[in-house]
Protein backbone atom coordinates (compact mmCIF):
# COMPACT_ATOMS: atom_id res chain seq x y z
CA UNK A 1 0.00 0.00 0.00
CA UNK A 2 1.02 3.63 -0.44
CA UNK A 3 3.39 4.76 2.36
CA UNK A 4 2.52 8.43 2.94
CA UNK A 5 4.58 8.74 6.13
CA UNK A 6 7.66 7.38 4.39
CA UNK A 7 7.33 9.64 1.36
CA UNK A 8 10.00 12.26 0.71
CA UNK A 9 9.59 16.02 0.78
CA UNK A 10 11.84 18.93 -0.14
CA UNK A 11 12.88 22.20 1.48
CA UNK A 12 11.78 21.28 5.00
CA UNK A 13 13.18 21.06 8.55
CA UNK A 14 14.58 18.05 10.36
CA UNK A 15 12.61 17.09 13.49
CA UNK A 16 14.60 16.28 16.61
CA UNK A 17 11.85 14.25 18.27
CA UNK A 18 8.45 13.03 17.04
CA UNK A 19 6.31 10.21 18.36
CA UNK A 20 3.56 9.28 20.80
CA UNK A 21 2.88 10.38 24.38
CA UNK A 22 0.38 9.44 27.08
CA UNK A 23 0.46 5.77 26.04
CA UNK A 24 -0.90 3.67 28.93
CA UNK A 25 0.36 0.09 28.78
CA UNK A 26 1.04 -2.67 31.32
CA UNK A 27 4.65 -3.38 32.20
CA UNK A 28 6.56 -5.93 34.23
CA UNK A 29 9.37 -4.09 36.03
CA UNK A 30 12.59 -5.76 37.19
CA UNK A 31 14.38 -3.86 39.97
CA UNK A 32 16.72 -6.73 40.74
CA UNK A 33 15.31 -7.68 44.14
CA UNK A 34 11.73 -6.87 43.17
CA UNK A 35 9.81 -7.88 40.04
CA UNK A 36 6.24 -6.67 39.71
CA UNK A 37 3.47 -5.98 37.18
CA UNK A 38 2.18 -2.42 36.97
CA UNK A 39 0.56 0.14 34.69
CA UNK A 40 3.01 2.45 32.94
CA UNK A 41 2.69 5.63 30.91
CA UNK A 42 4.97 5.83 27.88
CA UNK A 43 6.41 8.62 25.76
CA UNK A 44 8.28 7.44 22.67
CA UNK A 45 9.91 9.48 19.92
CA UNK A 46 12.54 9.42 17.19
CA UNK A 47 14.41 11.92 15.08
CA UNK A 48 13.09 12.53 11.57
CA UNK A 49 15.21 13.76 8.65
CA UNK A 50 14.21 16.85 6.72
CA UNK A 51 13.26 14.87 3.61
CA UNK A 52 10.95 12.34 5.34
CA UNK A 53 7.34 13.42 5.79
CA UNK A 54 6.34 11.46 8.89
CA UNK A 55 7.14 8.73 11.42
CA UNK A 56 5.32 5.40 11.46
CA UNK A 57 3.38 5.94 14.70
CA UNK A 58 1.92 2.44 14.94
CA UNK A 59 5.42 0.99 15.26
CA UNK A 60 5.86 2.68 18.65
CA UNK A 61 2.86 0.87 20.09
CA UNK A 62 3.87 -2.41 18.45
CA UNK A 63 7.33 -2.18 20.01
CA UNK A 64 5.91 -1.60 23.49
CA UNK A 65 3.46 -4.46 23.00
CA UNK A 66 6.33 -6.75 22.01
CA UNK A 67 7.61 -6.57 25.60
CA UNK A 68 4.68 -8.74 26.68
CA UNK A 69 5.13 -10.11 30.19
CA UNK A 70 8.93 -10.10 30.00
CA UNK A 71 10.46 -8.18 32.94
CA UNK A 72 12.12 -4.90 31.94
CA UNK A 73 15.16 -3.71 33.88
CA UNK A 74 16.94 -0.39 33.49
CA UNK A 75 19.56 -2.08 31.32
CA UNK A 76 16.70 -3.63 29.36
CA UNK A 77 15.24 -0.15 28.88
CA UNK A 78 18.49 0.89 27.21
CA UNK A 79 18.23 -2.07 24.83
CA UNK A 80 14.55 -1.29 24.24
CA UNK A 81 15.35 2.29 23.18
CA UNK A 82 17.87 0.92 20.71
CA UNK A 83 15.23 -1.40 19.32
CA UNK A 84 12.81 1.51 18.87
CA UNK A 85 15.48 3.46 17.01
CA UNK A 86 16.21 0.52 14.72
CA UNK A 87 12.53 -0.29 14.13
CA UNK A 88 11.79 3.30 13.14
CA UNK A 89 15.03 3.47 11.13
CA UNK A 90 16.05 6.65 12.95
CA UNK A 91 19.34 8.19 14.00
CA UNK A 92 18.13 8.69 17.56
CA UNK A 93 15.26 7.59 19.79
CA UNK A 94 13.87 8.91 23.07
CA UNK A 95 11.93 6.48 25.27
CA UNK A 96 10.37 7.16 28.65
CA UNK A 97 8.22 5.05 30.95
CA UNK A 98 6.66 6.27 34.20
CA UNK A 99 5.29 3.86 36.79
CA UNK A 100 4.47 3.51 40.49
CA UNK A 101 6.66 1.36 42.70
CA UNK A 102 5.22 0.20 46.01
CA UNK A 103 7.78 -0.27 48.78
CA UNK A 104 6.97 -1.95 52.09
CA UNK A 105 7.67 0.41 54.97
CA UNK A 106 7.72 -0.53 58.66
CA UNK A 107 6.61 1.74 61.50
CA UNK A 108 9.51 2.73 63.81
CA UNK A 109 8.15 1.23 67.07
CA UNK A 110 5.30 -1.20 66.42
CA UNK A 111 6.89 -2.47 63.18
CA UNK A 112 3.47 -2.54 61.58
CA UNK A 113 3.87 -2.28 57.82
CA UNK A 114 2.10 -1.39 54.61
CA UNK A 115 3.07 -0.14 51.16
CA UNK A 116 4.27 3.36 50.33
CA UNK A 117 3.98 4.53 46.70
CA UNK A 118 6.89 6.08 44.79
CA UNK A 119 6.70 7.45 41.26
CA UNK A 120 9.60 6.30 39.09
CA UNK A 121 10.54 7.45 35.60
CA UNK A 122 13.08 5.82 33.30
CA UNK A 123 14.18 8.01 30.41
CA UNK A 124 16.62 6.70 27.78
CA UNK A 125 17.95 8.32 24.63
CA UNK A 126 19.61 6.00 22.12
CA UNK A 127 21.94 7.15 19.33
CA UNK A 128 23.14 5.49 16.13
CA UNK A 129 26.77 5.48 17.32
CA UNK A 130 25.78 3.03 20.07
CA UNK A 131 25.87 5.51 22.93
CA UNK A 132 22.90 6.26 25.16
CA UNK A 133 21.81 8.69 27.85
CA UNK A 134 19.95 7.41 30.91
CA UNK A 135 17.97 9.46 33.44
CA UNK A 136 16.29 7.85 36.45
CA UNK A 137 13.82 10.01 38.36
CA UNK A 138 12.17 9.08 41.65
CA UNK A 139 9.61 11.07 43.64
CA UNK A 140 9.43 10.48 47.39
CA UNK A 141 7.72 12.04 50.40
CA UNK A 142 9.30 12.90 53.74
CA UNK A 143 8.40 15.05 56.78
CA UNK A 144 9.97 18.44 57.54
CA UNK A 145 9.76 20.53 60.71
CA UNK A 146 10.50 24.27 60.56
CA UNK A 147 13.57 25.33 62.60
CA UNK A 148 12.36 28.93 62.84
CA UNK A 149 8.96 27.90 64.16
CA UNK A 150 10.65 25.70 66.76
CA UNK A 151 13.03 28.47 67.82
CA UNK A 152 10.42 31.18 68.31
CA UNK A 153 7.57 29.12 69.78
CA UNK A 154 7.03 28.21 73.41
CA UNK A 155 5.18 25.06 72.39
CA UNK A 156 5.53 22.97 69.24
CA UNK A 157 6.54 23.83 65.68
CA UNK A 158 4.77 23.62 62.36
CA UNK A 159 5.37 20.67 60.06
CA UNK A 160 5.01 20.07 56.37
CA UNK A 161 5.22 17.20 53.96
CA UNK A 162 8.19 17.52 51.61
CA UNK A 163 7.93 16.16 48.07
CA UNK A 164 11.40 15.35 46.75
CA UNK A 165 12.15 14.68 43.09
CA UNK A 166 15.61 13.33 42.29
CA UNK A 167 16.86 12.83 38.74
CA UNK A 168 20.11 10.91 38.22
CA UNK A 169 21.81 10.92 34.83
CA UNK A 170 24.19 8.28 33.57
CA UNK A 171 24.92 6.35 30.41
CA UNK A 172 24.12 2.94 29.03
CA UNK A 173 27.53 1.80 30.22
CA UNK A 174 26.97 3.00 33.80
CA UNK A 175 23.47 1.63 34.53
CA UNK A 176 24.85 -1.38 36.38
CA UNK A 177 26.53 0.87 38.96
CA UNK A 178 23.77 3.47 39.38
CA UNK A 179 22.20 3.43 42.88
CA UNK A 180 19.11 1.35 43.55
CA UNK A 181 15.80 3.00 44.35
CA UNK A 182 16.03 1.63 47.90
CA UNK A 183 19.43 3.23 48.45
CA UNK A 184 18.30 6.55 46.98
CA UNK A 185 15.18 6.72 49.14
CA UNK A 186 17.05 5.66 52.28
CA UNK A 187 19.53 8.47 51.67
CA UNK A 188 16.71 11.02 51.27
CA UNK A 189 14.98 9.87 54.45
CA UNK A 190 18.21 10.13 56.42
CA UNK A 191 18.32 13.88 55.77
CA UNK A 192 14.64 14.60 56.48
CA UNK A 193 13.12 15.56 59.81
CA UNK A 194 11.43 12.16 59.58
CA UNK A 195 10.36 9.60 57.00
CA UNK A 196 6.65 9.23 56.31
CA UNK A 197 4.87 5.95 57.09
CA UNK A 198 1.71 4.31 55.73
CA UNK A 199 0.76 2.88 59.15
CA UNK A 200 1.37 4.51 62.56
CA UNK A 201 0.14 3.29 65.93
CA UNK A 202 0.12 5.68 68.89
CA UNK A 203 3.62 4.73 70.01
CA UNK A 204 4.85 5.27 66.45
CA UNK A 205 3.15 8.65 66.19
CA UNK A 206 4.80 9.78 69.44
CA UNK A 207 8.17 8.64 68.15
CA UNK A 208 7.80 10.39 64.76
CA UNK A 209 6.58 13.64 66.34
CA UNK A 210 9.48 13.80 68.78
CA UNK A 211 12.06 12.61 66.24
CA UNK A 212 11.04 15.34 63.79
CA UNK A 213 11.14 17.95 66.56
CA UNK A 214 14.73 16.97 67.28
CA UNK A 215 15.69 17.16 63.58
CA UNK A 216 14.29 20.42 62.14
CA UNK A 217 15.26 21.60 58.68
CA UNK A 218 14.38 24.23 56.10
CA UNK A 219 13.68 23.30 52.50
CA UNK A 220 17.13 24.76 51.74
CA UNK A 221 18.74 22.43 54.31
CA UNK A 222 17.09 19.38 52.83
CA UNK A 223 17.95 20.07 49.20
CA UNK A 224 21.58 20.80 50.09
CA UNK A 225 21.95 17.65 52.18
CA UNK A 226 20.49 15.42 49.46
CA UNK A 227 22.63 17.03 46.75
CA UNK A 228 25.71 16.63 48.92
CA UNK A 229 25.13 12.90 49.29
CA UNK A 230 24.54 12.34 45.55
CA UNK A 231 28.17 13.12 44.85
CA UNK A 232 29.08 9.83 46.52
CA UNK A 233 26.83 7.71 44.29
CA UNK A 234 28.66 5.68 41.61
CA UNK A 235 27.43 5.74 38.02
CA UNK A 236 25.88 9.19 38.42
CA UNK A 237 27.32 11.71 35.95
CA UNK A 238 24.88 14.54 36.74
CA UNK A 239 21.87 15.13 38.98
CA UNK A 240 18.95 17.41 39.72
CA UNK A 241 17.22 17.66 43.12
CA UNK A 242 13.93 19.49 43.56
CA UNK A 243 12.25 19.77 46.98
CA UNK A 244 8.76 21.20 47.46
CA UNK A 245 7.39 21.75 50.95
CA UNK A 246 3.61 21.46 51.04
CA UNK A 247 3.20 24.15 53.65
CA UNK A 248 0.78 23.64 56.53
CA UNK A 249 0.43 27.28 57.65
CA UNK A 250 0.58 29.05 54.29
CA UNK A 251 -1.62 29.09 51.21
CA UNK A 252 1.49 28.59 49.09
CA UNK A 253 4.29 26.02 48.95
CA UNK A 254 8.05 26.54 49.21
CA UNK A 255 10.66 24.94 46.97
CA UNK A 256 14.40 24.66 46.43
CA UNK A 257 16.39 23.11 43.59
CA UNK A 258 20.00 22.17 42.96
CA UNK A 259 21.44 21.03 39.64
CA UNK A 260 24.97 19.68 39.32
CA UNK A 261 27.34 21.52 36.99
CA UNK A 262 27.01 18.88 34.26
CA UNK A 263 23.21 18.83 34.35
CA UNK A 264 21.59 20.23 31.22
The answer to whether position 8 is within a domain reads no
pLDDT per residue over 187-231, tens digit each? 999 999 999 999 999 999 999 999 999 999 999 999 999 999 997
Confidence band, pLDDT 50/70/90 cuts, at residue 52: confident
pLDDT, residue 12, reads 73
> Could you give the angle at the alpha carbon of 104 between the alpha carbons of 101 and 105, nearest 5°?
120
Q: Is 215 a member of any domain?
A: yes
Which pLDDT value is given to residue 262? 86
Write the pLDDT tens digit of every residue in 2-50.
Answer: 455 555 656 678 999 999 999 999 999 999 889 999 999 999 999 999 8
Residue 4 counted as domain residue: no
Of the candidates 57, 134, 122, 55, the one whose C-alpha atom is nearest the C-alpha of residue 91 is: 55
Checking if the pLDDT of 258 tops 90, the result is yes
Domain count for the chain, please give it. 1
CA torsion sign, 93 to 98 to 99 to 101? positive
53 in a structural domain: yes
Check which CATH number belongs to the domain holding 98 and give it: 3.10.270.10
Mean pLDDT over 48-67 rounds to 92
Structural domain including 95 reads 15-259
C-beta separation of 159 from 215 below 8 A: no
What pLDDT is stored for residue 30 in this prediction? Answer: 96
Residue 1 has pLDDT above 60, yes or no: no
**pLDDT tens-place string over residues 89-127:** 999 999 999 999 999 999 999 999 999 999 999 999 999
Residue 191 within a domain: yes
Domain contains 234: yes
In a domain, 56, yes or no: yes
Q: Is the pLDDT of residue 248 over 90?
A: no
Q: Which string of b and e fits 4-18 if b means at least 16 CB within 10 Å?
A: eeeeeeeeeeebebb
Give one DSSP letter per residue of the chain, joined into a string. Answer: ---STT-B-SS---EEEEEEEEEEEEEEEE-SS-EEEEEEEEEEEEEE-TTB----HHHHHHHHHTTTT--B-HHHHHHHHHHHHHHTT-SEEEEEEEEEEEEEEE-TTT--EEEEEEEEEEEEEEETTS-EEEEEEEEEEEEEE-HHHHHH-SS---EEEEEEEEEEEEETTTGGGSPPHHHHHHHHHHHSSEE--S---HHHHHHHHHHHHTS---HHHHHHHHHHHHTT-TT-SEEEEEEEEE-SSSSS-EEEEEE-TT--
Cβ atoms of 62 and 108 within 8 Å: the answer is no
5 occurs within a structural domain: no
Amino acid sequence: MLDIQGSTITRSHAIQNVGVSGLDYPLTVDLGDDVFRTAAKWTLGVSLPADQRGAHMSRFVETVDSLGDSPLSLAGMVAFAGRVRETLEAKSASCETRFTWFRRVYAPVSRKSALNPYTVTWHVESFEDGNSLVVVTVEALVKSLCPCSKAISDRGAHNQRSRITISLRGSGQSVATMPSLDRTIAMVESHASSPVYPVLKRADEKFVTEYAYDNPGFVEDLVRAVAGSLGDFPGVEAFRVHVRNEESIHAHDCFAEIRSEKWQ
